[in-house]
Structure 1
Amino acid sequence: MSNTQTSRDSSAQLHHTLPQPLAVSATGLTFTLDDGRVILDAISGGAAVNCLGNGNRELVEVMTAQAEKMAFAYHQSLGNLESEKLAKLLTDRSNGVLQAAAFLNSGSEAMEAAIKLAREYWVEMDQPLRNHIISRSPSYHGNTLGVLGIGNIPSRRTIYQPFFSSNIHHVTSPQYLRHHLPNETEEEYSQRLADELESTILSLDPRYVIGFVAEPVVGAALGVMPPPKGYFPAIKRVLDKYGLLLILDEVMSGSGRSGELYAYQAVGEGVKPDILAMAKGIGSGYVPISAVLAGQRVTERIRKSGGWKNSHTYQNHPINCAVALKVLQIIERDNLLTNVKQRGEQLLDELKDATRDIEIVYNVRGKGLFVGIDLVGSSSLKPRLAPRIKTKAFENGLLVLAISGTIDGVEGEVIMLGPAYTVTQEQISEIVKLLVRSIREVVEDLDKEG
């Protein structure tokens, strides 16, 4: 048995699926395995997290210095300067849209906190009967019970169905290319989905609705899906008509991943959120950290009521906040968002050109360094198509993310890419070369299988 693949029985860990190959070190965009192989990382550690790559000495030094100065202070007993400075940077960069922030440990925690904050807002507005919330299907917003219920991915959700509230409702996730009507423009399609949202709100009675939850660029649920033109303006008009909250999940698409610090700045067409959650790239994988941010409307009401009722032991952790602050400072200092945009355009262009003659490639799409390769493959294929390509890519020295069920929660196959913001022009071309080679080899294997 290879050292890089521990068996389920010999591992002392409880694994998500099977034990994975063992990485023993990493630098920049490469991982070294315990058998000496070097893997090029095209997905920032596996899930669009490690936006500055591994081995960043500045982040290690900040982490060490903060641990020596003050490792921990419980937020209900003592504040800390690092969380204050991080909150100030994030709110400043929103140009007044977001006015307060708090810091948790994962995207799931941040989204859970965002939903609780939305409910608290309405209770403090003396409207406690507002207890219905609307999300989209397919969608994914985290793995804790609250936000797992708000999302709608059967493979993640079904066994926990008895725990979910009947006050969670779903409307259609935007997939213009697959689902638009003949001659229907993107703007017309967007308006049709906004009309569906309005019908759902009216069926529930607007007086009982909290708001609407969405990812600006959909990540794992649809396999990187930017919104069609006019989508968020159309949605926001409906929400404003009934005074409802817009809650944005930027856990995967934010922190610069889509080319702007906030994903809504990249794709929202001027729409402003009331509540926003972010995670993953904000700590670049060096620390577990997430954020929930509130706009003026919510911030003023919560402060007037006496304070936010959410509390976790590691909330506003000083080491995590110090590292995240440095991550954002490096992104700004090194002008990395320009690189995100330029290398993202290069990645899309080279992938589209290189896959033009591959029949199983349905679509290549993305925003910034957040790209999905949509594939034609049936759920009846075992193993499924996207995991086959991920496995083949790894054999060829490339780490990617495979997602199945991206059309309706069951059908649909996508390979997701999201390299670090420091990726070079040469590395982008190497990623494309290795991935396209892997796709072609899987096609050949399928032809042999008949």
Structure 2
Amino acid sequence: MAPIAVDRVTPAPIAALKSSAQASTSSVQFHVTSTPCPIAESSSGLTFTLNDGRTVIDCMSGGAAVACLGSDNPDLVQVMANQAAKMPYAYHQLLGNQPGEDLARFLIDRSEGNFAAAAFLNSGSEAMEAALKMVRQFWLEVGQPKRQYVIARFPSYHGNTLGALAAGNVPGRRNLYSPYIPDAYKHVPSPTYKRSAFEGETEEAYSERLALELEAKILELGPENVAAFFAEPVVGTALGVMPPPKGYFPAIDKVLKKYDILLVMDEVMCGSGRSGTLFAWQSVAEGVRPDIQSMAKGLGAGYVTISSVLANARVYNAINNAGAWKNSHTYQNHPINCAVALAVLKKMEKMDVYANVRLRGQQMVAELREALKDCKTVFDVRGQGLFIGIEFDLPKSLNPRFAARVKASTFQNGLMTLGMSGTIDGDNGESLVLAPAYIVTAKEITQIVSIIAKSIKECEAAL
């Protein structure tokens, strides 16, 4: 399929900048995709307006499950302005700030007694890096320095810093940096019940089997050497959205508790209401609670760059009693970010967006399954809340790959989605990820489903 044409000025190659004078008046853009992205000029509600006049419906909350309340929130802009006028910045090592304290208290109070402390950073990757450091410091403070191994899952994605890439395991993102990644990170299979279960195996039995595989890895490394197990409650882009099978977290938690290993939940993408509750584990973990948890994405609704790492009393007390948490960033606990995030969470609660997330998510999965039931390329439609994946069954040899084709087709038809390849084993697998804003209406869901079905069928016809 031909790429979508968008008029733009082609960035000048670096070699063309022959002098400092030229450099000062030239624009060089570094793109994270193989072709430049369309340029968005404005947004309103669930739509973006491009510089060529086209509008596209946003089915990805800004592109990465971030803008969860859409674009029309002048009250959040006012909170930002008010805090900037009152106190724009205070360095967390020298001064605390009330917005940070209030945001921490809000999250702790809604954690069903699970969390005792929170800190605020600037991105999901930063939060995961902080969680890794928190795990290490905890074991040092309680006198078990041999606990150095982190076990995560394959495929998984936990962020784009080196530590987060090491914990995650998406080859296309990670392998480039393999010389920088130590041997302390180990992996067990991610739960992919529909593809990986034995014939006749129930979800609960499959979950028990994965728990046994985790236990085998722990015993191989030596339980006294294992620090933590990292997992997304609902896997995001690495698997094309994958809720856990029944019994998964109880089976895993039993093994972790047996060997006194910390459970770290990565809720960067699936949390902050995306799964239908404030914390994703409240929706899918069947009573299991993390020792440490990250948050980001929807926490700031796209208005500010903010993430969080939260710890339970056991972890917090061990570190706090020893002196201080050895993690510091210049913009940690930024007062403007914290003030806006608190306003976002309060607005979500006041509007009861969590109920809408659950209802609209159920509607979207049901309508997609009906609309795509005759599509031979579709392997699965699944989701949790407004975090939904469509998995295709096509070879990786297609060029362009099928997920990219569908993403391009939906965009041409006026809808922004996220196409991901490698969602089976990091190489094979094609999926479309959907994450509309929490304020999406029933009518908008039906419109979105119609465009997706049309786009997939167009791509099928072109095979």
Are positions 1:12 and 2:56 aligned together? no
Distance 1:443 1:222 in 2: 22
Runs of at least 5 residues in structure 2 that lack an aligned partner in the other structure: 14-26
Distance 2:388 2:375 in 1: 18
- The SS at the match of 2:158 is coil
What's the counterpart of residue 18 of structure 2?
A: none
Spell out, residue by residue over 1:91-111, the C-alpha distance to the aligned partner (whole angstroms, 9 max, x if none).
101011111000000000000
What's the counterpart of residue 23 of structure 1?
A: 40
Spell out, residue by residue over 1:332-378, the C-alpha distance to the aligned partner (whole angstroms, 9 max, x if none).
00010000000001000100000000010100000000000001121
Question: Does the 8 A contact of 1:134 with 1:212 survive in 2?
Answer: yes
> How far did 1:145 drift?
0.3
What's the counterpart of residue 230 of structure 2?
A: 213
What pairs with 1:27-46 in structure 2 (closer than 5 Å)?
A: 27-46=44-63
Spell out, residue by residue over 1:366-406, the C-alpha distance to the aligned partner (whole angstroms, 9 max, x if none).
00000000011211101000010000110000000011000
Spell out, residue by residue over 1:67-120, the C-alpha distance to the aligned partner (whole angstroms, 9 max, x if none).
111111010011100000000000101011111000000000000000110110
What's the counterpart of residue 348 of structure 1?
A: 365
- The SS at the match of 1:213 is strand
What's the counterpart of residue 181 of structure 1?
A: 198
Please point out which of 376, 379, 388 is paired with 1:371: 388
What's the counterpart of residue 92 of structure 2?
A: 75
Are positions 1:232 and 2:249 aligned together? yes
- The SS at the match of 2:340 is helix
- The SS at the match of 2:385 is coil
- The SS at the match of 2:433 is strand
Give aligned-pair identity as a percent: 57
Question: Does the 8 A contact of 1:149 with 1:168 survive in 2?
Answer: yes
Please point out which of 258, 271, 277 is paired with 1:241: 258
What's the counterpart of residue 446 of structure 2?
A: 429
Please point out which of 157, 163, 168 is paired with 1:151: 168
What is the identity, as a one-letter code, of the residue corresponding to 1:244?
I
CA spacing shift, 1:377–1:124, aligned 2, 3 Å? same
What's the counterpart of residue 336 of structure 1?
A: 353
Are positions 1:311 and 2:328 aligned together? yes
- The SS at the match of 2:462 is helix
Distance 1:108 1:313 in 2: 16
- The SS at the match of 1:25 is strand
CA spacing shift, 1:6–1:192, aligned 2, 3 Å? farther
Spell out, residue by residue over 1:46-68, the C-alpha distance to the aligned partner (whole angstroms, 9 max, x if none).
11110000131011000111111
What is the identity, as a one-letter code, of the residue corresponding to 1:307?
A
Aligned residues: 446
What is the identity, as a one-letter code, of the residue corresponding to 1:28?
G
Distance 2:441 2:198 in 1: 40
Spell out, residue by residue over 1:173-223, the C-alpha distance to the aligned partner (whole angstroms, 9 max, x if none).
000000001111100000000000001001111111101000000001001
What's the counterpart of residue 210 of structure 2?
A: 193
Please point out which of 400, 407, 419 is paired with 1:402: 419
CA spacing shift, 1:441–1:115, aligned 2, 3 Å? same
- The SS at the match of 1:333 is helix
> How far did 1:4 drift?
4.3
- The SS at the match of 1:169 is strand
Please point out which of 267, 287, 295 is paired with 2:284: 267
Spell out, residue by residue over 1:99-150, the C-alpha distance to the aligned partner (whole angstroms, 9 max, x if none).
1000000000000000110110000001111111100000000000011011
Distance 2:413 2:84 in 1: 39
> How far did 1:296 drift?
1.3
What is the identity, as a one-letter code, of the residue corresponding to 1:100?
A
Distance 2:72 2:41 in 1: 13
What is the identity, as a one-letter code, of the residue corresponding to 1:367?
Q
What pairs with 1:69-108 in structure 2 (closer than 5 Å)?
A: 69-108=86-125
> How far did 1:6 drift?
4.8
Distance 1:370 1:133 in 2: 27
> How far did 1:8 drift?
4.7
Are positions 1:170 and 2:170 aligned together? no
Runs of at least 5 residues in structure 1 that lack an aligned partner in the other structure: none
What is the identity, as a one-letter code, of the residue corresponding to 1:365?
R
Distance 1:39 1:278 in 2: 28
TM-score (norm 2): 0.95
Tell me which stretches of 4 or more aligned residues in structure 1 moved more than 4 Å.
1-6
- The SS at the match of 2:355 is helix
Please point out which of 65, 69, 87 is paired with 1:48: 65
> How far did 1:318 drift?
0.5
Distance 1:46 1:194 in 2: 34
What is the identity, as a one-letter code, of the residue corresponding to 1:205?
G
What is the identity, as a one-letter code, of the residue corresponding to 2:31?
H
